[in-house]
Structure 1
Amino acid sequence: MDSTFGSRPFSAASSRGSSSIAADRAPTSSSPAPPLPPSSTTPIAARAPELSPPTPAPSPQPTARAYPSLEASSSSWRPKGTPLESDLALLRSGVNALSRRAREQLLQDLLADTAPIDLSPLYPLIVPRLQRDFLRTLPLELALHVLSFVDEAKTLARASAVSRHWHALLLDESTWRRMCWKSGFAPPEKPAPPPPVPVPADATVRYLSDTDDRSSSAASSSSAPASSSAGSAPSGSSTHVSPTTAPPQPHRPFSYRSHFKLAYLSEQNWVRGPGTLLSTQMSVDQGVVTSMAFDNEWIVVGMDTSKVHIFEAGLGTYVRTLAGHELGVWCLTLAGAVVVSGGSDRNVRVWDVATGRCLHVLPGHTSTVRCLRVLDARPVAVSGSRDGSIRVWDIERGLALRLLSGHRKSVRAIEVCGNKIVSGSYDTTARLWNVDTGECLHVFRGHIGEIYAVAFDGARVITGSLDSTVRVWNAETGDFLALLQGHTLLVGQMQLDPYSDLLVTAGSDGTVMVYSLTTYEALHRIKAHSQSVTSLQFDERFILSGGNDGRLKLWDTKTGAYLRDLSDPCDTVWRALVRDDKLVSLSRRDDRILMDVKTFREAAPDS
């Protein structure tokens, strides 16, 4: 058979291959090697060329002529045992034709017969097919109902990032309205103004000294002017500084989602801090802060130096000083556009807070006016004095309405609810009065020490005494309900929340007690301060306490756990009040009285 491999056949001289050539060159052991030929003078070019081993030919390839059947199937070669596409299609159609139960059995058998190493590549293919967006498969109402069981804000925030569908579901206002209700973030009755622009943290503003007679710049500047007359600013100063107002903003519909976000972030600012310091005001006098009140427009501070200082509530900017009392101011209250103050000069004064003008001077008490309250939504003030009397005043017309007599010693505390008031006295008794008739409805006896604090919600009267106990009484019948113990010294601070039935008290032992008025049990006993507690306030989230040890602390109402200090340590904390996530604190540091105004409210986005 004539077959050709390569481009040309080998010549006859080289057809023997490399083995025969090597045999011709190598001498054998049986015959002696031939003698070397004599040297020749023949030129190298004339010598016969030496034979070299041939280059191997390419491996033989099948050809169409030798293997005609490979020409058609050369493109579809596959390893031995691999099924053809037609076979796979036939197998797939057969599997699909099986019943569901038969397919499950077949898959179980295949899995049992397959090595784990062969199954691992199938894992990323199987898992995505098993995943299902259950919220997408549910009707909208059911999907929102499922989300209503989520109580954690962080969980909802993470859920909104799962997919576009989940994000769209969590834009629903009903979900966030429910979250606001669960978290206690009630929507405001009126939209809150944005927080004012803060001043640098190290900015300190000096306000009026009671002994400073030097003239200063206008109230809008950093320094406060000296007062030349009662309740008015001197020449060259502004007579009125309006509260900070925000520029007009385009109206946007109220959003529970946005409200919850801002309220939640504000709560985190309280817990983790540090908050935004709006201003620090400084007094150079050496007096003592005796009282403080503030609302959305004004901050009012009473001093034992007979002065009443007014600041605007937006940034805490000094406005003016009300001068008129001859001796120290020991109590005051802020009622809308007027301030009512009382002091050691035995007079009650009514001031126009916007102009600083004294509207009325109400004489009548024969000793220091120690406590003051104004009835809700009525121009009626009630004052208690060390002379043992309680007087009722019409602060709109400047008239004395009636005298409530009964206590035999100093009246130390007063609380009002509706047209009824409760008074606590150093004679160890508390009394319930009808303001409109002047009638004493009940006398509450039981303490063996002077009463320093009272609380009243219309249904219960609560008293705190020098005997270290707290007593609860029924305001309707006058019956004694419970004795609450836990303090070891005078109980001088208390606050009652009728909605949560919680009572928080504090005293000279530095302890803060939290009681349940449902069971009359002590829920928490907090060793808050190393000295007397001078300031106490709480809500459903936090307890704020300030003390003579110079610390201002924040506590968790539900657990009683310490959260953090709200200010740097100082000599003493006189007063601290919170309103709408704004904290105003008065303290003594390095023989100076400082007022810090700080906000914890998160700023609303611009858009």
Structure 2
Amino acid sequence: MPIVPPPTPAPSPPPGQASFQSVHPSVVSHVSHFAGLSPASRRQHLYALIQECTPSELLFLSTTIAPLLKRDFLRALPPEVSLHILGFVDDPRTLARAARVSRYWNELLKDDYLWKTLCIRHGFSRDADAVKSFKAEQRSDGGRRHSRHLSMESDFDTVRSTHSLASGLQLSPPTSAAFPYRKYFIHEHLRTSNWLQRGRLLRIHRAPLHPPIAQDMNAPNNGQGQVQNPAIPTSIAIDSSWVVVGLANSRIHIFSARTGVLSRTLVGHEAGVWAVSLISAGGEPATADVPLSANAGDSLVAGVPQDAMVPPILKYALGLDQGEDGWTSSRGVSPDPFADTRAEESHPFGKPSYPGGASDGWGQPNALVVSGGCDKELRVWDVKSGYCIYILRGHTSTIRCLKVLHGRPIAVSGSRDRTLRVWDVQRGRLLRVLEGHTQSVRCLDACGSRVVSGSYDCTCRVWDVDTGACLHVLRGHFHQIYTVAFDGVRIASGGLDTTVRVWDASTGACLALLQGHTALVCQLQLTPTMLATGGSDGRVITFSLRGAAFSVVQRLAAHDSSVSGLQLDDRFLVTSGNDGRVRLYKFEQPPPSPSLGSGSTGGEGDPQCSFVRDLCEPSESVWKVAYTRETCAILCKKAGKMVVEIWSFKPDV
């Protein structure tokens, strides 16, 4: 039996038509009369009507009139004026919510200039390392978008280099190579938030400090066993890809900075490793127009290179297969959009060394590790394969410190044999010996082609690596020197006499004698505006480098025992101590007030650091800590074991 479908209802009349049919004829005549009144009479008429309305009728008027009064003021203004108004907004979340108002506002808030200004205002503009890591992440992600929002209310899509508004005016320069400032700001904002709140623990590696005693039946002390050195971390180097840890048991562990996985262990040293340096893959030559052989001059020592015996695969790792002179070509490194030429001019000798122990490569495709220790040998390793490429001999005692110059295959090592040696780590040869110290060389730092060494003979020496000349002898300490820092303009040195001295790098004159520690000064780092020191008394002191006064900015009782690690940048200060704690401080610009708060004596304009949180759970002791913008490695002792914790602060992708 057929089923008759129900009748389809008639469509509803449009709102205008329905309301028009329900209007009383008297109302229509009243509206026609109102339209013919003068503006003043219309206002009087409306005022009289409002006075006669009940509260419910007034509410009806309010809800009806409010939508009619809404107006897009940004659309009514020229785009340049609208961007100028939006430029006064400091909170990125406010901009994120504004981008959801309309399509026009969304397009307006994609302008690169607006986000570049916000980057500068939030301090994301002068950090070349952050820009470099951001670009590397974009390449590794293959153009994937961030899935995490800057706020839960907004959806940040990929930033376009040009934006056309509804008015037809183009706000951004029409270039496909425009730097994505908006995307960069999101990346940096999320990374900073991760540091302040809580990072992500990638891996925890545990190893026994004292391995089982190895029995050697052929040894003279037959049956008693041979006690190996404990697996105590002695040195660390870190970049955006790798974490390298040197141990007192002659091993070198290499961890992935992206995943925290132990990638490989380098075995070859016959005694404890005391110094490691990591050479990042890629980069570009610092002096691409000058062959390496020209730098060596006539003072080459043992100028017979070992590269003739290197297998082709390791030659490729060293970059030897890309040119006769050993220099590789630039790999298309894009210019830094936040480049500050004033910062380059402030370092007349070149780029200072990184506090994390890594250095820029000279264009070689693989990352390299240079290590030295108690067996008096310098070894060059290929990180990708784990092979030892060169064994460089020449020192007659323990190699205590090591630096590799930026963009050049030149390593400088300091030893207890009282000498420094300059090596060509690309071709495997000794370039020259720097002699002058009368006791063990304990520490060194490099900036461009200049190196500063500190010795137990209570002096520091400034060397020209290219000529081997000793430019200055810095005398003033009356006890052993344990740490030096060099930024190309100033030299800072500290040691067992509990004082810190600041020197002029160009003249060798002592600029200041800084006091405040009551024990050995074992940690130093220089920034363009600040000097941070850490001592065995547990104190961390920051000094202002603005002007010639070198005033104390803050005295921090950071740890209950010796400060074992100290590193800072323009936003954070990280310290570790033998009390088993790793602490994070944040730098903030003080308000324009004469009162600087407790524990601070610096002048107005000097950034103050405040304690944020502990970066990890307390341990028995912390040996080393080092970090990049997105990775932090902590080497500590827990439950009698050597523990390596690798934390990531990279934004989720």
Q: Which residue number in structure 1 is paired with residue 375 of structure 2? A: 345
Residues 1:504 and 2:532 are matched in the alignment:
yes
Contact 1:538 1:557 in 2 (8 A): no
1:301 Cα offset (Å): 1.2
Distance in structure 1 (CA, Å) of the matches to 2:119 and 2:206: 39
Pair 89,385 (structure 1): closer, same or farther in 2 beyond 3 Å: same
Any idea what SS the aligned residue of 1:557 has?
strand
Pair 190,346 (structure 1): closer, same or farther in 2 beyond 3 Å: closer
Residues 1:575 and 2:575 are matched in the alignment:
no
Pair 569,89 (structure 1): closer, same or farther in 2 beyond 3 Å: same
Distance in structure 2 (CA, Å) of the matches to 1:464 and 1:132: 65
Contact 2:240 2:630 in 1 (8 A): no
Any idea what SS the aligned residue of 1:560 has?
strand
Any idea what SS the aligned residue of 1:185 has?
coil
1:565 Cα offset (Å): 1.3
Distance in structure 1 (CA, Å) of the matches to 2:49 and 2:621: 76
Any idea what SS the aligned residue of 1:188 has?
helix
Q: Which residue number in structure 1 is paired with residue 612 of structure 2? A: 563
Contact 1:423 1:431 in 2 (8 A): yes
Aligned with residue 456 of structure 1, among 486, 494, 506: 486
Residues 1:390 and 2:420 are matched in the alignment:
yes
Aligned with residue 206 of structure 2, among 257, 282, 286: 282
Aligned with residue 271 of structure 1, among 192, 196, 202: 196
Pair 265,597 (structure 1): closer, same or farther in 2 beyond 3 Å: same
Q: Which runs of 5+ in 2 are unaligned?
A: 1-23, 146-157, 161-178, 211-229, 281-366, 589-607
Residues 82-113 of structure 1: CA deviation (Å, up to 9, x unaligned): xx75885587357x4145xx877x59997998
Q: Which residue number in structure 1 is paired with residue 551 of structure 2? A: 521
Residues 102-160 of structure 1: CA deviation (Å, up to 9, x unaligned): 877x5999799899979964655666666544322211111012112222212212322
Structure-1-length-normalised TM-score: 0.70
Pair 527,120 (structure 1): closer, same or farther in 2 beyond 3 Å: farther
Structure 2 counterparts to residues 193-232 of structure 1, below 5 A: none
Contact 1:513 1:526 in 2 (8 A): yes
Q: Which residue number in structure 1 is paired with residue 642 of structure 2? A: 593
Aligned with residue 108 of structure 2, among 169, 175, 186: 169
Pair 133,329 (structure 1): closer, same or farther in 2 beyond 3 Å: same
Residues 1:538 and 2:480 are matched in the alignment:
no
Q: Which residue number in structure 1 is paired with residue 227 of structure 2? A: none
Pair 190,86 (structure 1): closer, same or farther in 2 beyond 3 Å: closer
Bigger shift: 470-479 or 122-131? 122-131
1:163 Cα offset (Å): 4.0
Any idea what SS the aligned residue of 2:609 has?
coil
Residues 1:315 and 2:259 are matched in the alignment:
yes
Pair 491,132 (structure 1): closer, same or farther in 2 beyond 3 Å: farther
| 1:294 alignment partner AA | I
Pair 91,525 (structure 1): closer, same or farther in 2 beyond 3 Å: farther
Residues 338-374 of structure 1: CA deviation (Å, up to 9, x unaligned): 3221212222222233333333333333332111111
Distance in structure 1 (CA, Å) of the matches to 2:252 and 2:97: 51
Distance in structure 1 (CA, Å) of the matches to 2:536 and 2:448: 31
Q: Which residue number in structure 1 is paired with residue 131 of structure 2? A: 188
Contact 1:144 1:175 in 2 (8 A): yes
Residues 217-255 of structure 1: CA deviation (Å, up to 9, x unaligned): xxxxxxxxxxxxxxxxxxxxxxxxxxxx96866798763
Contact 1:383 1:391 in 2 (8 A): yes
Pair 582,192 (structure 1): closer, same or farther in 2 beyond 3 Å: farther
Pair 117,342 (structure 1): closer, same or farther in 2 beyond 3 Å: same
Q: Which residue number in structure 1 is paired with residue 455 of structure 2? A: 425
Q: Which runs of 5+ in 1 are unaligned?
A: 1-77, 79-83, 196-244
Contact 1:428 1:447 in 2 (8 A): yes
Aligned with residue 82 of structure 2, among 143, 148, 166: 143
| 1:158 alignment partner AA | R
Measured on the aligned residues, the alpha-carbon RMSD in Å equals 3.3
Distance in structure 2 (CA, Å) of the matches to 1:138 and 1:87: 39
Aligned length: 468
1:527 Cα offset (Å): 1.7
Aligned with residue 155 of structure 1, among 89, 94, 103: 94
| 1:554 alignment partner AA | L
Aligned with residue 34 of structure 2, among 85, 92, 107: 92
What is the identity percentage for the equivalent residue pairs of Structure 1 and Structure 2? 44
Distance in structure 2 (CA, Å) of the matches to 1:505 and 1:467: 14
| 1:331 alignment partner AA | A
| 2:566 alignment partner AA | L
Any idea what SS the aligned residue of 1:306 has?
coil
Any idea what SS the aligned residue of 1:360 has?
strand
Structure-2-length-normalised TM-score: 0.65
Residues 1:482 and 2:512 are matched in the alignment:
yes
Residues 406-446 of structure 1: CA deviation (Å, up to 9, x unaligned): 22222211011111101112222211111111111112222
Distance in structure 2 (CA, Å) of the matches to 1:107 and 1:487: 83
Pair 398,98 (structure 1): closer, same or farther in 2 beyond 3 Å: closer
Distance in structure 2 (CA, Å) of the matches to 1:392 and 1:573: 32
Residues 435-461 of structure 1: CA deviation (Å, up to 9, x unaligned): 111111112222233222111111111
Residues 1:602 and 2:541 are matched in the alignment:
no
1:488 Cα offset (Å): 2.6
Aligned with residue 181 of structure 2, among 256, 279, 294: 256
Structure 2 counterparts to residues 228-247 of structure 1, below 5 A: none
Aligned with residue 247 of structure 2, among 296, 303, 308: 303
Pair 130,481 (structure 1): closer, same or farther in 2 beyond 3 Å: farther
Distance in structure 1 (CA, Å) of the matches to 2:650 and 2:542: 26
Contact 1:573 1:585 in 2 (8 A): yes
1:314 Cα offset (Å): 3.1
Distance in structure 1 (CA, Å) of the matches to 2:104 and 2:388: 63
1:593 Cα offset (Å): 0.9
1:285 Cα offset (Å): 3.5
Distance in structure 1 (CA, Å) of the matches to 2:567 and 2:627: 8
Contact 1:389 1:406 in 2 (8 A): yes
Any idea what SS the aligned residue of 1:260 has?
helix
Any idea what SS the aligned residue of 1:561 has?
strand
Contact 1:350 1:358 in 2 (8 A): yes
Distance in structure 2 (CA, Å) of the matches to 1:334 and 1:480: 32
Residues 257-285 of structure 1: CA deviation (Å, up to 9, x unaligned): 23322321121111111x22222222123
| 2:526 alignment partner AA | L
Structure 2 counterparts to residues 56-95 of structure 1, below 5 A: 85=27, 88-89=30-31, 92-93=34-35
Contact 1:539 1:557 in 2 (8 A): no
| 1:409 alignment partner AA | Q
| 1:271 alignment partner AA | L
Give 1 or 2 for the bigger CA radius of gyration. 1
Pair 269,190 (structure 1): closer, same or farther in 2 beyond 3 Å: closer
Contact 1:262 1:603 in 2 (8 A): no
Bigger shift: 416-425 or 256-265? 256-265
Contact 1:297 1:313 in 2 (8 A): yes
Bigger shift: 85-94 or 381-390? 85-94
Pair 115,529 (structure 1): closer, same or farther in 2 beyond 3 Å: farther
Distance in structure 1 (CA, Å) of the matches to 2:523 and 2:78: 54
Residues 530-564 of structure 1: CA deviation (Å, up to 9, x unaligned): 11111111111111111111111111022311111
Distance in structure 2 (CA, Å) of the matches to 1:593 and 1:91: 93
Any idea what SS the aligned residue of 2:369 has?
strand
